[in-house]
Structure 1
Amino acid sequence: MEAEAIIGALMTPEGRGEPYPLYAAARELGAIRKVKDWPMHLCTGYDEINAILRDNAFGKMDFDMLPAEWRGLLLPDGAMESISRSMLLMNPPGHRRVRSLVSSAFTQRRVAGLEPAIERMTDALLDELAALGAGGEPVDFMENFAFRMPVSVICEMLGVPEADRYRFRPLAHDLTFVLELTDSFDDFGPADAATLELRAYFTELAARRREQPQDDLVSAMVQANDAHDGRLSDAELLGNLLLLLVAGFETTTNLLGNGLYLGFRHPEVLGRVRKGEIPVAAYVEEVLRYDSPVQLTSRFALTEDAHVGGHPVARGEQVMLLIGAAHRDPKRFANPDVFDPTRPDNVPLSFGAGIHYCLGQGLARLEGRVAFEKLLARFPEIEQAAEPERRDRLVLRGYETLPVRTGAPAA
C-alpha cells in the first residue's frame, strides 16, 4: 500500500478498529515517507518520532497558522478554536507561558502526595462495583470505574463539584473528535455543541471562583487571568480549562479499559501481576506500548531546514506521527507484537516527549498502578462478561463498554 492509501484506510471504521495491520504496511515504506502529492509525511519509526517530538524545528498547528479559508469554516468559540487556544496546540513562547501556570500542580512531589486520596476514591468506587455485581450481573467497567476514577481525581484538582462530574464523559467524547483524522469540518457539529456547553459551564464556575476563591486549579487560573498581565487571556483561560478536564481523564479511562481487556486476553500475565511476579507499574507501561490510548499526533515544520535524519521536511509541511506503529517498531522492541510486561527498557511514547510532554503523565501512571493493584486484589475472579464495544476512534483509542463479572470479592 502507498502512504496515501494507508491514511485513507485509517479514516475508515475498519481501519480505526484494527489499525495495526495498516501500521505494519506503513513501516514497510520506511521509518518516514513523503505522501505523494500531499504536504505531508508519514512517520512510523520509534527513534524518528522520538526525535521529532523533541526537535524545536517542529511544532503544532496553532490557530494562527490555520489558513484563513479554514478559519472561516470554523464556529467561533467552537471545538477547534477552543482547543487551539490551549497549550495542547500552542507553540513557544505562548506554550511556555501557559504551561508554567499549571505545571506546579503536576510536579512529581505533588502527584505523589495525591496517592492516599486516589486510593480512597478507588476503594469507594470498587465498593460500588462490588454492590452492582453482587448477584453475578454484568457490570460495565468503563462507565462505573474506568471513567469515574480519573474524572474524580482531575475534578478534585480543578475544583469541579462532585454532582457535576457525571455529564463530562459524553461531552469529552464529542469534543475530542476534533483531534481525529478528518477531511472535512462538516462533522464538527457535536464537537462544537459539546465545547459550547463546557465553555458555559467553566465560565460560570470561573465566576464563582472570582467571588469565592478556593485551593484549586480553576481559582489559580482565574487569578492569573484577572491579573491582566499577559499571562492568560480570556480565550486561553477557557481553552485550557477544557483541556485540563478532558486530558485529565480521557487517556487514563482508555488506559484502564485497554489494560483490563488485555489482561482478559492474557490471563497468564494477569495472574503473574496478581501474584506480584510482575510489577503493576511494568504492566501499565506495556499496556501503554501495546495498545496505546494515544495512537497518533502531528507536527509541522516551523523552519526552512527541518529534517528527520537525512529526510527533509519543507516549512509548513505536516508529519503524521503514528505512535501506535512506533510501539511495534522491531528496531526498538524485540518481538513487538507480543504483550510482555517483563520487557526491558520499555519507554512508550503515549504521553509524547519534548516541550509537549504530557503534564499529567505521572498522574495517569499513578492512577493506573493504584487502579490495577486494588482491582485485582479486590476481585481475584473478575472476568469478561461479553464482548466490549470499541469506540469508533483512532487517535484516542479505547472502549465504550467493557462488561465484566466481578466474581466473589477477596475475603
Structure 2
Amino acid sequence: MDGAAILEQLMTVAGREDPYPLYEQARALGAVTPAGEALLMTVGYREVNEVLRDGTFRVPDAELRGRWEEGFADHSSKVMFSRSILERNEPDHSRMRSLIASVFTARRIAALEPAVVEAVHRLLDDMADQGADGTPVDFMDAFAYRLPVGVICELLGVPAADRHLFRALASDLTVSLEMIAEDSELAAADEAAEELAGYFTALAARRRADPRDDLVSALVQVADADHGRLSGSELLANLVLLLVAGFETTTNLLGNGLTLLLDHPEAAAGLRDGTVTPAGLNDEVLRFDSPVQLTSRISLANGQRVGETEAPYGSMAVLLIGAANRDPLRYEHPERFDPTRRDSRPLSFGGGSHYCLGAQLARLEGAVALPALLTRFPELAPAGPPVRRDRLVLRGYQSLPITIR
C-alpha cells in the first residue's frame, strides 16, 4: 500500500483496533511519506519530535480549520476545543497557557500525592468488596475511570455528587478529536459540549460568588482581574479541556498498563519485587501502547521540511506518535514490552510549547495506582477479553474484566 492507502486503513474499524501493523507498513515506506493531497504521514521518532518542538509549525486552529474543513463552525464541540490551549497558536496559546500554568502548578500537583494514595486505597477497598466472591470486576469502570476523574474534579472544585456525569459526556465529546466521525457521533459531541459548557458556566458563577481553594475559583479570579487575558468563552473551553484531558489520558494509561501487565507476568513480578520501577513502567506503557496515538501540525512558511521531506505551504504533517514510539532507530527491540528500558522519553505527552500540562499528574497517578493494585491483589487475573473503544487518536479500553481472587 502507498501512504494514502495506509492512512485510509488506519481509519477503519480494524485499523483502529490494532494500528501497529499498519504503522510498520508505513515505516517501510520511510520516516515521512506523502499520504494524499498535502498530507505527510510521519512515523519516525526524530521527525515527529522535531515537528512537535518546532514552533513554526502550527496546530490546526479555528482559522485554519474554518478555511479548509467544511462545516467546522457548525459543530460546537469542535469550536469549543478551538477556543482552548489545545488548538491555539501564538500569541494566544502562550497568553492562555501561562494563566492556566500559574494555577495548575507542579507544586500543587506534587502536593496531591497523599490524596491520590488515599483515593487509590479507597477504590481498591471497593473493588475488594465487589469481587470478594469471585465476581468479575470491570477495572475500567471500578478504578481506571474513577481515580483520575476524582482527582481532577477535586483539583477543579467539582462537587463529588456530580462526578458520575462526565465519563459518557467526555466519551461523546472527544469524538470530535478523531480524524473522521459519523454525523450522529458529531451530533452527540455537540450535545456534550453544550452540556459541559452549561455545567461550567454555572460552577464558575458559584465560585465567583463564593471562591474556594480550587482551580475553577483561581481561573475565574484571573479571568475577572484582566478581561483581555482570558475571555469568558476561553475560560469555559479550558475548564472543559482540563476536566476531559485530566482523566481521559490517565484512564487509558491505567487500562493499557494493566492489560500489558496481565500479558507480561514477568513485568508484574518485577513491579512487585522492585526490579521494575513505577516510573519505568509508566514510560514503557506510554511508549508501547500510547493513550494518544496521533496529532498534526500545519506548515505555513516557505522552506519548511519534515525530516528530509519538503513541507509546502499548507501541507499537514500527520504525526503518528504510536509509530514514533516504536521506531527501531530510537529503541532497541521496540516491539518488546520492556519496563526496564532507560532513557525512554516517549512522545505520548507531545512536545514543545504544546507539551501536556497534565503529564505530571498522569505520571503520579500511574506510579501510585498500578503498584498498589498488584500488591493488594496478588492473584489478579483476566476474567474475559478486554473490549477496546473504537478510536484511533485516544486509544484505550471500554471494559477490562478481572477477578481479584
| TM-score tier (shorter) | over 0.9
Q: What letter matches 1:199 in structure 2?
A: A
Measured against aligned partners, the alpha-carbon deviations of 1:119-164 in whole angstroms (never above 9, x if no partner) come to 1111111111111011110010000100000001100110000010
Q: For residues 115-134 of structure 1, what are the structure 2 equivalents within 5 Å? A: 115-134=113-132
Equivalent AA in structure 2 for residue 213 of structure 1: P
Give the Cα separation in 1 of the matches to 2:306 and 2:72: 33
Structure 2 unaligned spans of 5+: none
Report the counterpart of residue 300 of structure 2 in structure 1: 302
The structural deviation recorded for 1:185 is 5.8
Aligned position for 2:29: 29
C-alpha contact 2:377 2:404 (8 A) present in aligned 1: yes
Does residue 334 of structure 1 match 2:324?
A: no
Which sits farther off after the overlay, 299-308 or 115-124? 299-308
Q: Which segments of 5 or more consecutive residues in structure 1 lack a partner in the other structure? A: none
Residues 282-297 of structure 1 aligned to structure 2 (within 5 Å):
282-297=280-295
Q: What is residue 203 of structure 1 aligned with on the other side?
A: 201
Distance in 2, Cα, partners of 1:52 & 1:28: 20
Q: 1:321 aligns with which of 288, 304, 319?
A: 319
Contact kept, 8 Å, 2:7 with 2:35, in 1: the verdict is: no
On the 8 A contact 2:302/2:312 being kept in 1, the answer is yes
Q: Structure 2: which amino acid aligns with 1:278?
A: V
Verify the 8 A CA contact 2:136 2:401 in the aligned structure 1.
Answer: yes
Give the CA deviation at 1:309. Answer: 3.3
Moved more, 166-175 or 214-223: 214-223
1:388 maps to 386
CA contact (8 A) 1:74 1:185 kept: no
User: Is the aligned partner of 1:57 residue 2:56?
Assistant: yes
Could you say if the C-alpha distance between residues 303 and 222 of structure 1 is closer, same or farther in structure 2, counting changes exceeding 3 Å?
Answer: same
Provide the TM-score with structure 1 as the length reference. 0.96
Equivalent position of 2:10 in the other structure: 10
Question: Could you tell me how far apart the structure 1 residues matched to 2:39 and 2:89 are?
Answer: 19
CA contact (8 A) 1:73 1:185 kept: no
After TM superposition, list the pairs within 5 Å mapping 1:3-402 onto structure 2.
3-36=3-36, 38-68=37-67, 70=69, 72=71, 74-75=73-74, 78-182=76-180, 187-402=185-400
Check whether the contact 1:106–1:363 (CA below 8 A) recurs between aligned residues: no
Q: Deviations over 1:149-202 (max 9, x none)?
A: 000110011000001001101110110011111177664111101111111111
Q: Tell me how many residue pairs correspond in the alignment.
A: 405
What is the rounded CA distance, in whole Å, between the counterparts of 1:356 and 1:67 in structure 2? 21
* Residue-by-residue CA offset, 1:339-385 (whole Å, 9 max, x unaligned): 01112211100000100000110110010000012111111111111
- Partners of 1:280 and 1:98 in 2: CA distance: 32
CA RMSD of aligned residues (A): 1.4
Conserved in 1, the CA contact under 8 Å of 2:157 and 2:216? yes
> What SS class does the counterpart of residue 74 from structure 1 fall into?
helix
Q: Give the distance between the partners of 2:250 and 2:191, measured in 1 at CA.
A: 24
